[in-house]
Structure formats: structure tokens, C-alpha cells
Amino acid sequence: MTLPSRIGPAEVAALWPVGPVTALTPLSAVSINAAWRVQAHAGAFHLRVYRDPRRERAEVEHHAVRLARTCGISTPDLLVTRGGGTLARLHGHWAALFEVAPGARVPRPDLTPAHAAALGAFLADLHSRLPESVPFEVPALAPPASVPVTLDRLRVIEAAILALPHPDATDGWALERTRQRLAHLRAAPSPDDLPALPTCFVHGDFHDGNVFFHAGVPAAVIDWEQPRLAPRAWEAVRCLHLSLRLDPVLGGAFLRAYRGHLPLLPEELRRGAELYAALQERNVWVSESVYLRGNPGPRAFIRPPPYLPFPQAWEASGLR
């Protein structure tokens, strides 16, 4: 569904009791949703307009936010609409208004070992506070797609990129990486028999972009749209990869801080890395979003070639 590019201040004021809205500033992001910073008589807020048309998907996030706050986790609260719920219809989409998170993001290139340690400690604190199960429906971490299915999806992506009338450098990167992934999956895919690990309720999208810092310390975590039942080790490895690029110094600081709060044995971390590797190998969300669904946001995730299979990058990092 096409997201709105413009929203009027009066539309927001009509749905939420925040008084007159004086400014609506679009927020550029790689999110699949649309977002604005709202300045109103009652203060500053964050407006999210969901791309997914399913109400239940947004409701899961709202349940997760309320649960996290009950557990003492710092995360922005939701505002109640004039109708009494936390969701409103705006330009044919579901929308929600959040408090603004305290602090600010730290740009990924500026992350230091101290920031990495703070992220590790913060994630361990989340894991220790969140319950193993929740009183609302949360998806389990989905198993990876089969190799044949992934090959078919990559071939469709390849054809879509080749059909572009005016491809740019990023499209060239995507095409080359797609072809390298196809070659890897044909030659040496990860095994399908994944290691078994205990699961619990996790944030699901914990990385530096969703953590706000104040004075060098994490002040809040945002974006509970993808909570799931998954192994703790999987979420730790995911952050090591996405936020810290498996940098040995940053990753080492992260793991030492995490283990200072919660046990995470090397064997459990290894199995979490194997699970993450298989899921990454079969994950085509970025390319499908950009080239098949017309969502330009994830283009920011397309990196230059070569494609490096995760097990090779994990082994080279020396993280244990």
C-alpha cells in the first residue's frame, strides 16, 4: 500500500488530544513505515503510519510496548486517541502517536567500545526483565526458507533488477550481490538441520538504530514492531552483526558487558550464530522490498559487493 506523503496538522489534532499541532516534520528513515515528528501544544511526539494493513500487526507492537513498560524497560509510551484506543485511521492506514524517546541515536560509524559495551549490557537487561512468554500472540522465529525456494526468489529479484530502465550504482551492487548469493546457494549452502535453542520473548529488532543514548548510556529502546519468541543468542548475534559489523574490538566489548549481566556460554553463542547464519543466507527481505514491492527505504541496507556468507565473517571475527 502506498503510504501518505503529506498529513495535515488538523488531521492529527482531530485524532489525538494534543491540542493545536504547529509543525509536522517528515522523518527520513529506512523503516517500512512512514513517520513524522509532531510539534503540538502538548509537546513533541512521534507519529507512525503503518504500511502493513493488518490491524493485528500494529496491535502486537502496542501490546509489547505496554508489557516492556510494565517490566521497567525505558521505551516511549503510546498516546490514547480521542476514540479511546491506541490506533487511528489516517489516510486509509493504521497510525499511532508515541512519546518522543529521550536522548539521541549514535551514528553507527561513531560507535566506540564504550557504546558497544553499553549496548551489550542494555540487551542483557532487556532479556532479564522480559518474561519467557506473554499473554498475547507473538510469532516464533520463523525457520529459514529452503534452498530451492530461496533460489527461486533470488532469480525473480535478479530479473526485476535487470528490467529497471535506468539502474544506478546501488542497483548494480544489488545485482552483483544477488548473483553471488545465487552462486553460493548452489555451491555451499548452510545445513538445514539447525541447532535447537531455548526461546523466550525478545524485542526482535534490537540494534543501534533503535537505541537512544544520553550521556553515553542507553536511555530508551524503540520499535517493538517485530517481537518474537526466539533464542537470546540469536538476538545477541544479530546485534553484533547489524550494529557492530562483527568488529572484534566492539563485539568483544559487547559480549563482555552482556555476560557481566547474564550468562551466555560460548557454545550457546556458537549455536546462535549458526541459526542466524542460516536465516541470513535465506533472507531476501531487503531486495524484495525494494525491487518487488516498491519500498525505497531499505535501499540504505544495500551494500557494495562482494557478498560474504555470514559463517565466513563470523569465523574471521574471532568472537566467541
For 115-163, what is each residue's pLDDT tens digit? Answer: 999 999 999 999 999 999 999 999 999 889 999 999 999 999 999 999 9
Q: Name the class of domain 9-99.
A: alpha beta
Beta pairing partners, 88:
95
d(C-alpha 3, C-alpha 35), whole Å: 10
Answer yes or no: are the C-beta atoms of 271 and 195 closer than 8 Å.
Answer: yes
d(C-alpha 163, C-alpha 182), whole Å: 18
Predicted model pTM: 0.93
Beta pairing partners, 230:
200
Helices (H) and strands (E) in the chain, counts: 10, 9
pLDDT at 234 over 80: yes
- H or E element in which residue 55 lies: helix 55-70
* Of the candidates 274, 284, 276, the residue with the CA atom closest to the CA atom of residue 150: 284
Taking CA atoms, 34 is separated from 6, 218, 246, in Å, by 10, 25, 30
Q: Once rounded to an integer, what is the mean pLDDT over residues 7-29? A: 94
Four-residue CA torsion sign, 29, 33, 38, 43: negative
pLDDT at 114 over 90: yes
Answer yes or no: are the C-beta atoms of 69 and 177 closer than 8 Å.
Answer: no
pLDDT at 4: 85
> pLDDT for 23-64, tens place per residue?
999 987 556 889 999 999 999 999 999 999 999 999 999 999
What are the start-end ranges of the E strands in the chain? 21-26, 34-40, 43-49, 88-90, 93-99, 200-202, 211-214, 217-221, 228-230
Q: Which amino acid is at 141?
A: L
- Kindly report the CA angle at 139 between 134 and 145, in degrees rounded to 5? 155
pLDDT at 193: 82
Look up residue 16 and give its three cell numbers.
489525538
Residues written for the chain: 320
- CATH topology for 111-143+190-283 is Aminoglycoside 3'-phosphotransferase; Chain: A, domain 2 (3.90.1200)
As a whole-number percent, the residues of the chain with pLDDT over 90 amount to: 91
d(C-alpha 63, C-alpha 71), whole Å: 12
Q: Once rounded to an integer, what is the mean pLDDT over residues 80-104? A: 97
- In the chain, where are the structural domains located? 9-99, 111-143+190-283
pLDDT at 31: 66
pLDDT at 46: 97
pLDDT at 1: 58
